Amino acid sequence: MPDGKVPDTPVEILVDLLKKAKDVATTNGCVPKELTNLLQQALDLASGLDDYLEKMTTQESEPLAELYKKTISHDWDKVYEEGKTQFRLPKECITGHVEGQTLKMLVHMCQARRILEVGMFTGYGALAMAEALPENGCLFACELEAYLKEFAQPIFDKSPHGKKIMIKIGSALDTLKELADAGEQFDMVFIDADKSNYINYYKFILDNNLLRLRGVICVDNSLFKGKVYLKNTTDLNGLALRDFNDYVAQDPHVEQVILPLRDGITVIRRVGIEPRPSSYDEVFRGVMGRPILERMRLDGRVAYVTGAGQSIGRAFAHALGEAGANVAIVDMDATKADSVVKELNVKGINAMAITADISKCEDVQRMIDSVVSKWGALHIACNNAGINMNSASEDTTLEEWDRTFSVNLRGTFMCCQVCGRSGDAKQGYGKIINTASMASLIVPHPQKQLSYNTSKAGVVKLTQTLGTEWVDRGVRVNCISPGIVDTPLIHSESLEPLVQRWLSDIPAGRLAQVTDLQAAVVYLACDASDYMTGHNLVIEGGQSLW
Ligand SMILES: C[S@@+](CC[C@H](N)C(=O)[O-])C[C@H]1O[C@@H](n2cnc3c(N)ncnc32)[C@H](O)[C@@H]1O
């Protein structure tokens, strides 16, 4: 703690008391040396903590460092005396480096997208949290003092994350009412304003559903210099925090912990839902207690995707991996497969590369054996590999026809059959997702692609037949029919002129992006789609309807 700083947290006060005790012991000749030594050890232990935490915590960004420096060096007394603030604001209000990083971590951990801060001061905590929000995340910061908006905004503007922060000037309770009336909800709330109102903020936030179902409330200064547990406390803020902590501790709707960091941070999570309604069924609490987005998780599942080295297959592999599955990247091109594996590994997804040509029976068997021998199971088979060769029907060679069918239909059938014979499918669980095409429904034009269209129509019938035949053993077989997907191939010299023509046939007014297909593969791979089988899920921007 720098000289001259007022001790403000339990540890800082402890250090101050130990220093004084040690000074007394050193100047008083009657104190045994052993006691003085023990006091010194206690002092070393306590005084080293905050510095060590500072050093070992990830460095703050430049805008945060600037905000801190500007706040600490500002003359807050002068600002108050000039009538620019309603209250005298102590610079110690600022959350600072370690606490800011803690908040940032919490934002990451709860994957918050919308945050509410009650009490912004100069915006250190707000900017630290905003740094952890995704691009489209937002943080509403409530602050009483208009002067603080002027102070913080120029630094927010220097940060790429500043645009996520919306400052709301006025009494926080009024702002909370306004936000509740507008139907706003938050994943994380940070309460750090006037202590006497903490309990009102807390109650209002929970009673008015400002906190999302799985949201978290963080509360600053919950140890309030230790006054919350010291017996002789008369300090009104200390007593307010003590009452607040007691209230939260007895609230059956939440569970909480106080982290003894700086002046204490309470982390509160909503658990109970009261009153327990008579309709407390699976719709209300989720199937097996899992709400819908959790039911779309694929943790512990093993998947493969063929043709995963690029385009749709690559997007499918990322989507399945993001949802929690281990993913085998199957492609004829080993380099492409390896590169997608590397991408997935960077995201912390378990992945392996398999080089295979799915038109070859032995490759298909080896592919599935490799997956099962590495991960002990196979739950999700994503048969996506396919080829498309254009020719007018009168010119289509049997070679073209056979090659197209050999990959698109025969290859897909072999993949399905080997999966159907493998352990998990036989033991009652499996999801097979074939890539068909909108060409199974309509005849895309003006390009001519008879072999492709008929092979993909075959994929749909294969899917329908297997989907019904294998449903009694827990295997679901569905397919996805994408419309025209915007891939580099489309922008080739021969196809580019067709794009305008296609666009005029698509109600959505644009080609499909591979990312438009990702949710579908996760849905078909997860338990939530268990009642769906033999289905052709068409994703074509409405093209087949015109
Ligand atoms: C401890 S500071 C907040 C520190 C801030 N969270 C940070 O990260 O540095 C408390 C802030 O709450 C504001 N405040 C106090 N009472 C308020 C109220 N009723 N409504 C809105 N803001 C209030 C004060 O002006 C002050 O800026």
Instruction: Give the list of residues 6+ apart from residue 449 with CB closer than 8 angstroms, or none.
Output: 388, 389, 390, 391, 439
Please identify, by atom number, the ligand 1 atom nearest to the C-alpha of residue 126.
8
Q: Does the ipTM exceed 0.95?
A: yes
Nearest CA to ligand 1 atom 14: 193
Do β-strands 254-259 and 265-270 pair in parallel, antiparallel, or remain unpaired? antiparallel
452 is catalytic: yes
User: What pLDDT is attached to residue 519?
Assistant: 98
Q: Rounded to the nearest whole angstrom, what is the distance from the C-alpha of residue 403 to the centroid of ligand 1?
A: 70
For the Cβ of 172 lying below 6 angstroms from any atom of ligand 1, the answer is yes
Per-residue pLDDT tens over the stretch 207-230: 998 999 889 999 999 999 999 999
Q: In terms of Cα–Cα distance, which of 49, 61, 63, 67 is closest to 11?
A: 49
User: Which residue type occupies 62?
Assistant: E
Q: Rounded to the nearest whole angstrom, what is the distance from the C-alpha of residue 123 to the centroid of ligand 1?
A: 10
Q: Rounded to the nearest whole angstrom, what is the distance from the C-alpha of residue 151 to the centroid of ligand 1?
A: 14
- Residue to probe by mutation, ligand 1, list 67, 79, 143, most atoms within 8 Å of CB: 143
CA dihedral 389, 416, 524, 295 (to 10 degrees): -150
Nearest CA to ligand 1 atom 19: 171
**Could you give the count of Cα atoms lying within 13 Å of 382 in the half-sphere of its Cβ?**
36
User: What pLDDT is attached to residue 112?
Assistant: 97
Cα distances (angstroms) measured from residue 54 to each of 57, 96, 97, 127, 391: 6, 10, 7, 18, 68
Please identify, by atom number, the ligand 1 atom nearest to the C-alpha of residue 119.
12
Q: Rounded to the nearest whole angstrom, what is the distance from the C-alpha of residue 446 to the centroid of ligand 1?
A: 65
| Token pair for 10 | 């339990």
For the Cβ of 100 lying below 6 angstroms from any atom of ligand 1, the answer is no
Q: Rounded to the nearest whole angstrom, what is the distance from the C-alpha of residue 157 to the centroid of ligand 1?
A: 21
Contact status, residue 407 vs residue 388, Cβ threshold 8 Å: no
Nearest CA to ligand 1 atom 27: 121
**168 dihedral zone (left: phi>0; alpha: psi -120 to 50; beta):** beta
- Residue to probe by mutation, ligand 1, list 106, 121, 197, 220, most atoms within 8 Å of CB: 121
Q: Which of 124, 201, 429, 452 is catalytic?
A: 452
- Residue ranges of the alpha helices (H) in 376-495? 398-405, 412-421, 423-426, 450-469
Contact status, residue 141 vs residue 169, Cβ threshold 8 Å: no
User: What pLDDT is attached to residue 423?
Assistant: 75
Contact status, residue 153 vs residue 167, Cβ threshold 8 Å: yes
Is the four-CA dihedral 441, 445, 450, 452 of positive or negative sign?
Answer: negative
Length of the chain: 546
Q: Is 311 exposed, middle or buried (0-12, 13-18, 19+ CB in 10 A)?
A: middle
- Residue ranges of the alpha helices (H) in 85-132? 97-109, 124-132
User: What pLDDT is attached to residue 446?
Assistant: 87
Q: Rounded to the nearest whole angstrom, what is the distance from the C-alpha of residue 240 to the centroid of ligand 1?
A: 16
Please identify, by atom number, the ligand 1 atom nearest to the C-alpha of residue 87.
25
Q: Does the pTM of the predicted model rise above 0.80?
A: no
DSSP letter at 258 equals E
Low-confidence ranges of the chain (pLDDT < 70): 1-4, 272-279
User: Which residue type occupies 53?
Assistant: L
User: What pLDDT is attached to residue 296?
Assistant: 97
Contact status, residue 330 vs residue 385, Cβ threshold 8 Å: yes
